[in-house]
Amino acid sequence: MNIIVVGLSHKTAPVEIRERVAFAPTAMEKPLNELVALPAVHEGVIVSTCNRVEFYATSRDAEAAVAQLRRFMASFHGISPEELENHLYDYQGEDAIKHVFRVAASLDSMVIGEPQILGQIKTSYGYASEFKTVGLILNRFLHKAFSVAKRVRTETNIAGNAVSVSFAAVELARKIFGSIDNKTVMIIGAGEMCELAARHFVNNGVTSVMVTNRTLERAQKLADEFQGRAVPFDDFANHLAQVDIVMTSTGAPNYILGHKKVEEVIRQRKNKPMFFIDIAVPRDIDPKVNDIANIYLYDVDDLQGVVQANLKERHKEAKKAEAIIDQEIGQFYRWLGSLDVVPTIVSLRRKMEDIRQGELTKTFSNLKDLGKKERKAIEALTSAIINKVLHEPTAVLKQSQNDSSGDSYVDAVRALFALEPPQTEIDMTNSDQRSETD
């Protein structure tokens, strides 16, 4: 049985293509059922996020399944196959296993180490379980992917270090103050970046939020969201002495805070440190403010430098994660191979035993004068012959579970001895959907 991946991502397709092939999370039953109705596909999961759309499937005919899945993605969305051709990729066997493990561990994400993708795959698996389009193999496979992702996060620091400007500001504040518990933050401006920064600060211990904006109504709305206080824009400087952290992004053409005013504020604070984050372009705060003792001023370039340094650290951790994934691939591939190898060995021995019993019956019917002792001797002899004949083929099949030759040996044995296909498939409409988690 083969595991197959067919899909596209931010690495291969622009957003205008990705949005056209996206699957609505509230309407997954129809595409999932159509997916597993494809002749070469047995089990299927659809992962659809803003950055990727992928099919995870199982099949005995990998080439046919890949072709059918490629056509399905195009036809379901009313797009010509030619339009998608150059954006799609496909993986089979160990390559497919590695790809999914890397995706779950966020090594293939736009931002390495981001945690959202694992939850998105779990949600996709939940839909497939609900609509019974997964069976033994994908159940086990995706649970293994989840455990691999957990191991990567536990054993590496791939999710550490801020890689967004807003969260980098929080990390820097922690370094300056030691802790931001019970600190007061003022947000100057009420744009998306300021809102995100405010959320990060509140989630990480800041207990008091002030918001100011040229439009007081907008400031009040954002302040209400964080149980904070809105202050009029013309009056915000008079509140600075109460504030430990200031984040500003107004779009003003000139500085809104100068050296003289900040000197006055720091005197009122009796030299207690203040942290200013100026992410506005043009800048809101005169850079000379950074010369004042106990004032820490960072602009957007400073924060981007922190983000880039942190990204480099994540890439270092990614190498450790890749080693973990390579180790886990082998374990899972051996289990997958055993699904075909073990039933094949059982089928081969059963067929040989059926032949032996049939021949013994014919022989004994022609030798009616044989005694009980002679019959037992002949039975033991034929059983020993069968065991010796099957010893080497069985050993080779068992060994093949550990490498890529397994499928070839299984197919050859089944063809040579006309064995029935291994019964690893399960009836997905009646099967217990629970799976062992590694």
Task: Write out pLDDT tens, residues 248-297.
Answer: 988 888 999 999 999 999 999 999 999 999 988 788 999 999 999 999 99
pLDDT for residue 144: 92
Active site residues: 50
Across the strands, what pairs with 299? 278
Contact 219, 230 (CB under 8 A): yes
Percentage, residues of the chain above pLDDT 70: 92
Q: Which residue has the tokens 């990998």?
A: 62
Contact 115, 409 (CB under 8 A): no
pLDDT tens per residue across span 363-390: 999 888 888 899 999 999 999 999 999 9
Region of 227 (left: φ > 0; alpha: ψ -120 to 50; beta: rest) is left
Q: Which residue has the tokens 């536990």?
A: 154
Beta-strand pair 229-232/295-299: unpaired
Contact 247, 297 (CB under 8 A): no
pLDDT for residue 64: 96
For the chain, the average pLDDT equals 87
pLDDT tens per residue across span 171-206: 889 889 999 998 999 999 877 777 888 888 998 889
pLDDT for residue 109: 83
Lowest-confidence segment of 36-45, 384-393, 396-405 by average pLDDT: 396-405
Write the secondary structure of the chain as one string of H (helix), E (strand) and C (coil). CEEEEEEEECCCCCHHHHCCCCCCCCCCHHHHHHHHCCCCCCEEEEEECCCEEEEEEEECCHHHHHHHHHHHHHHHCCCCHHHHHCCCEEEEHHHHHHHHHHHHCCCCCCCCCCCHHHHHHHHHHHHHHHCCCCCHHHHHHHHHHHHHHHHHHHHCCCCCCCCCHHHHHHHHHHHHHCCCCCCEEEEECCCHHHHHHHHHHHHCCCCEEEEEECCHHHHHHHHHHCCCEEEEHHHHHHHHHHCCEEEECCCCCCCCECHHHHHHHHHHCCCCCEEEEECCCCCCECHHHHHCCCEEEEEHHHHHHHHHHHHHHHHHHHHHHHHHHHHHHHHHHHHHHHHHHHHHHHHHHHHHHHHHHHHHHHHHHHCCCCCHHHHHHHHHHHHHHHHHHHHHHHHHHHHHCCCCCHHHHHHHHHHHCCCCCCCCCCCCCCCCCCCCCC
pLDDT for residue 433: 35
Lowest-confidence segment of 115-129, 248-262, 316-330, 336-350 by average pLDDT: 336-350
Region of 55 (left: φ > 0; alpha: ψ -120 to 50; beta: rest) is beta
Task: Pick the closest to residue 279 from 388, 157, 197, 210 (CA basis).
Answer: 197
Q: 69: Cβ–Cβ under 8 A, 6 or more apart, which residues? A: 4, 6, 35, 38, 41, 55, 57, 90
Q: Which residue has the tokens 């924060």?
A: 303
Domains and CATH numbers, the chain: 2-155 (3.30.460.30), 165-302 (3.40.50.720), 334-416 (no CATH)
pLDDT for residue 327: 87
Region of 362 (left: φ > 0; alpha: ψ -120 to 50; beta: rest) is alpha
Is 70 exceeded by the pLDDT of residue 423?
A: no
* Structure token digits, residue 145: 């992917």
Predicted confidence band of residue 337 (pLDDT cuts 50, 70, 90): low
Distance from C-alpha of 118 to C-alpha of 116, rounded to nearest angstrom:
6
Predicted confidence band of residue 435 (pLDDT cuts 50, 70, 90): very low
pTM above 0.75, yes or no: no
State the distance between the two ends of the chain, measured CA to CA, in whole angstroms: 20
Lowest-confidence segment of 102-116, 227-241, 354-368, 376-390 by average pLDDT: 102-116
pLDDT tens per residue across span 127-160: 999 999 998 889 989 999 999 999 998 998 877 6
Which whole number is the average pLDDT over 80-102?
94
Is 70 exceeded by the pLDDT of residue 437?
A: no
Distance from C-alpha of 4 to C-alpha of 88, rounded to nearest angstrom:
13
Contact 341, 410 (CB under 8 A): yes
- The most confident of the ranges 10-14, 37-41, 310-314, 423-427 is 37-41
